[in-house]
A and B are shown apart, each in its own frame.
Chain A
Amino acid sequence: MNWKLLCILFSCTLILGCGSKKNFIVLTPTEDGSVGALQVENQKGSAILDEEGKAIYVADKESVPSEPTAISRPEIDAFFKEALQVHPLMPQSFLLYFLFNSNQLAEESQQKISEIQQAIKDRDSTDIAIIGHTDRTGSDAYNQQLSFKRAQAVQKFLTENDVNGDDITITYYGEGNPLIPTADNVAEPRNRRVEVMIR
């Protein structure tokens, strides 16, 4: 075996290898495990990426995008190490439920507090949205007020449990935004809710 030739071949592979990996786009699975699709397009051509762990390489705007090519997970993670260290957590949403025609929190919902506190801590969040809703029994106007009272009850509940009141914003929709669509005047416990969104 000619060592010199082998060395030259090896260096060529390295250089070409690195060169071709200058620019690439790689698909990764979403948190729920699903995989979507995207298209990369320039004047010279286009390619579709719809499989996780596959990458499209493109030298520049004047070059045809490659066919999707497999790339190893450790390699992907190494290239994006610094970004991943500061990658934010997805906002987390909690649904708290209420007794019929009341701003009294259901017992099970009160037990959510430690999870809510943890979600705030994990995100170092100063952006907590409280969104009030009702079911469709009673008039629109009454339910607007009831959803507001429910949102206020959750605000009180959170601030009593060491959540900073300045970080909270309140909105309310009455019966106008049901989780489970029903006809008017139908009692639906799952619509008697307040959403707490930690961003």
Chain B
Amino acid sequence: MKKYAFGCLAFIILCCYPIVSTATEVVVGKVQGTRGLVSIFRDGKTKPAFPHDKVFLSDTIMTGSNGAIGILLEDNTLISMGPISRLEMKKFKFSPAKNEYEMSLKMGQGSFVYQSGLLGKLAPHAVTLDTPVGKISMLKGTDFRARFSE
């Protein structure tokens, strides 16, 4: 009986697996540290974010009034944000082998600490950030902090 149940379970997992893995989600980074209420908005749904969670292209990361989150992108760019902040991963390409570089993030309101990674070193001009007050373009890889209030 137990064996049969395991068989069924394996069958269900096998059936579900291709559906999950066919979604062409592009990993752009991962969550490193969190504090308080933090969430990721993806495919129309909001889910809580935890350390080691993957961050995908088109995700919007949000923090609550006591929240803070630190993320590590694939090119080693580090971004952390404080309470009531929003950040959308609009575009991200980092493949040195193909010489393809692009990063476009949309910062909403909030407080942001940005530490430049390999994109900033190899292709600063491929990095742009939309903000509530205008566009930030990287001229030469740099760290910066920004604060936007609505």
Q: Which residues of A contact B (CB under 8 A)?
A: 22-31, 35-43, 46, 48-50, 58-61, 63, 65, 76, 79-88, 90-91, 123-124, 126-127, 199
The answer for the CA separation of A100 and B87 in the assembled complex, in Å, is 49
A137 to chain B, nearest CB (A): 24
User: Would you call B134 and A83 a contact (CB within 8 A)?
Assistant: no
Question: Other CB < 8 Å A-B pairs besides A37-B139, A87-B78, 12 of them?
Answer: A22-B148, A31-B115, A36-B139, A37-B138, A38-B136, A41-B134, A79-B147, A80-B113, A83-B80, A83-B81, A86-B32, A86-B68
Query: Min CB distance, A95 to chain B, in Å?
Result: 17
Inter-chain contacts of B112 with A (CB < 8 A): 83
Is there contact, CB below 8 Å, between A88 and B124? no
Write the B129-150 contact mask toward A (1 if CB under 8 angstroms, else 0).
0011111111111111111110
Q: Does any Cβ of A come within 8 Å of B52's Cβ?
A: yes
Pick the residue among B32, B80, B144 that contacts A26 (CB under 8 A). Answer: B144
Whether B133 lies near A60 (C-beta < 8 A) is: yes
CB < 8 Å neighbour of B70 from A60, A76, A86: A86
Task: Determine whether the beta carbon of B133 is less than 8 Å from that of A39.
Answer: no
Whether the Cβ atoms of B147 and A40 lie closer than 8 Å is: no
The answer to the question of B58 belonging to the interface, with a C-beta cut-off of 8 Å to chain A, is no
Q: Is A23 a contact partner of B148 (Cβ separation < 8 A)? A: yes
Residues on A with C-beta less than 8 A from B146 are 24-26
Kindly identify which residue among A24, A42, A49, A65 contacts B147, using a CB–CB cutoff of 8 Å.
A24
Given A37-B142, A39-B137, A82-B111 in contact, is the A88-B70 Cβ separation under 8 Å?
A: yes
Cβ–Cβ contact A23 & B80, under 8 A = no
Contact (Cβ within 8 A) A86 B134: no
A43 to B133, CA, bound (A): 10
**B72 beta carbon closer than 8 Å to chain A:** yes
Q: Which of A36, A37, A79, A123 has the most CB of B within 10 A?
A: A36
Most B C-beta atoms less than 10 A away, residue of A24, A31, A46, A83: A83
Point out which of A31, A37, A81 has the most chain B C-beta atoms below 10 A from its C-beta.
A37
Q: What is the bound-complex CA distance between A175 and B141, given in angstroms?
A: 30
Chain B 47-103 residues near chain A, CB threshold 8 A? 51-52, 68-72, 76, 78, 80-83, 85
Bound CA span A167–B148, Å: 37
A75 to chain B minimum Cβ distance, whole angstroms, is 11
Docked-complex contact B82 and A82, CB < 8 angstroms: yes
Given contacts A26-B144, A36-B120, A36-B141, contact A83 B136 (CB under 8 A): no
Contacts of A27 in B (CB 8 A): 142-144
A59: nearest chain-B partner, CB-CB: B133
Q: Are A40 and B135 in contact (CB under 8 A)?
A: yes
Inter-chain CA distance A46–B137, complex, in Å, is 11
In-complex Cβ contact of A38 among B72, B82, B83, B137 (8 A): B137
Instruction: Report Cα–Cα, A88/B32, bound state, in Å.
Output: 6
CA distance A44 to B52 in the complex (A): 41
Contact indicator B139/A48 (Cβ below 8 Å): yes
Contacts of A49 in B (CB 8 A): 144
A29, A60, A81, A82: which contacts B143 (Cβ < 8 A)?
A29
Interface centre among A29, A30, A82, A84 (most CB of B within 10 A): A82
B137 partner residues in chain A, CB cutoff 8 A: 38-39, 41
Q: A24-B147, A83-B112 are in contact. Are A88 and B132 (CB under 8 A)?
A: no
